[in-house]
A and B are shown apart, each in its own frame.
Chain A
């Protein structure tokens, strides 16, 4: 048996990864995280930047900011933004209905919402294109009004709205579920009407999750390719999205040009997501 005297206490200064903690595994989990993030995300993106960097600055600017590319960015970011905004509104209402009410086939509705996650995007694109074409069910309905949906920028918005809906529903839903009925009753007992309760109590509490859902739908929309190309018509300067332009450049063996457009999109997307995150952090701090 060893006595305590044999082992006088020694103050050991352990490195950050070796500190004792009630939740062990910091070193391991952080290591795995960085490894995955590097191999799957960072290194490919770095390769894109490297490829784009092979050009001279003048060539890069000419490729990245040609008239055709600018029109494609406008369409991609604009349509993604509009689609995300539409989804934010209808996703919120859908989440509300799912959380607050009981209705027949609720489980079925719940499952359908996730379909856009699972469905191959090309299938969605073809289905949407045939529905919204001038001779499709929906297209024929709006044709007398002089509207054209498929093969116009409007078609791009429709496809992106389809893709993005579950992001908003699934981020808002759990927060709404956690929001206790007490809070609404408290507002009512203090004299607030339904509209005031909604705008002053419920929506501010949902804001961080709602913004997250919007950001996810928006980001997904910017990068979406498969469903859009079938419904967009893909006319240069009019209904051609930026991811398609990258593919066209690649097919013409202009790898550096494709990389230039990719890097520009990457930068813009990163900036926008960063700003949305800042707004979110601000909203959360107040909450």
Chain B
């Protein structure tokens, strides 16, 4: 992929490939183009060059809201909930494109995120940071996506919550959903990654299994803080 916001492209050739039901983690220094890569995959930024394939179909020209219908969920980094709606209503909004009965998906979401069940009639804006993140991910899960794109889901959370969210991500993946996550907490994230993508300067620097990247002294020194 090559893309950006006009002018010099931010992504200067990034390849991301993920198999169904696996966890991919995108790490790298600030300004490496991690979020841009995710937005480009979801179609929020149109590509200058390259293609996006989903299940073998070329979706490069499909609008983001239509990609939701195809089975791709996207959770932006900020402003990712409807604060004045209740938790339940946030989840219902996630399912707005569904015409069938989705109550079982709401129940499943509460199983993944038990704290939300007690707060289902509270305004989402009143919740703690970690719970808001759960609402945001839960909203994206309502279409029962086959691929979930998460942009820094642990940003600004306390370490306990970071661990919590990362564990939930693993359990969502175990239910068969492919997850591509951009993470600041590189070490923690790579621990759960099937595939890790290290980006720098808008390019792929390393692509390997999470384990190999963690054990690679070069990667460790440059991106994991030694």
Task: Answer whether A and B are interacting partners.
Answer: no
